[in-house]
Amino acid sequence: MQRFDRIDALRGLAIVWMTAFHFGFDLVHAGLWQQNFYADPFWTGQRTAIVSLFLFCAGLGQAVAAQQAVRWPRFWRRWGQVAGCALLVSAGSALMFPHSWIYFGVLHGIAVMLVVARLTAGWGLWLWPLGALAIASKFIAAYAIDISTTAVFFNQKTVNWLGWITQKPITEDYVPIFPWLGVLWWGMAAGFWLLRHRPVWLQGAAPRPLAWLGRWSLPYYMLHQPLLIAAITGFTWFKT
């Protein structure tokens, strides 16, 4: 499968941004900095932007895979890696945050959305309005549910991964299907349009460090937090 360095570099940019974000979060968790990552719009807005960039890149990648006719066995191999890492994230977070462990974070969401993306890859231009509808559905449903008797049902952990909630669950990372599937669909739609009308925008040189990071995004994602936490823990230990 041909890779596009510029897509990898865009994903690499998201990785650098995510690393800086998590470094700040870890400093707060270690008691070395005073910030509110859960409520301050400066931080919650960044989280939204980072997740959006990751999912948009995932959509671009699925457009490339569809154009190059990547077969299902290869798709499932990659999907298995993502799903396996999602389970590891759940296990690790349960040890570190037993009362707010990650049961449907970004990797869990991507694992589900990749299957949906694969099944809808042939929908072409319909992905644009479907993406908008997926994003809008979260807010429409939240309003409709809030004035109905179904709020309790959709707020349950067994179904709140859909995203149609009126109360955000207590968890360290939460990336439900709606509205985030809409962002991935927009990435796919943009990818199909670029491959058909502006392929030169995806081809050509890109910053090598960012492209390298983007190419190895999954192992980097799994390793960066343990390494950051270990470095901060070591710093606090030597400091005292």
pLDDT at 49 over 90: yes
Determine the Cα–Cα distance for residues 44 and 25; give it in Å rounded to an integer: 11
Dihedral sign (CA 152, 158, 159, 163): positive
- How confident is the model over 106-114, as a mean pLDDT? 98
Q: How much is the pLDDT for 132?
A: 97
Q: How much is the pLDDT for 147?
A: 62
Nearest residue to 191 (alpha-carbon basis) of 48, 6, 1: 6
Between the alpha carbon of residue 121 and those of residues 77, 195, 196, 208, the distances in Å are: 18, 14, 14, 29
Q: How much is the pLDDT for 150?
A: 64
Q: Which of 71-85, 139-153, 226-240 has the highest mean pLDDT?
A: 71-85
* Overall number of domains in the chain: 1
Instruction: Look up the domain containing 188 and give its range.
Output: 5-239
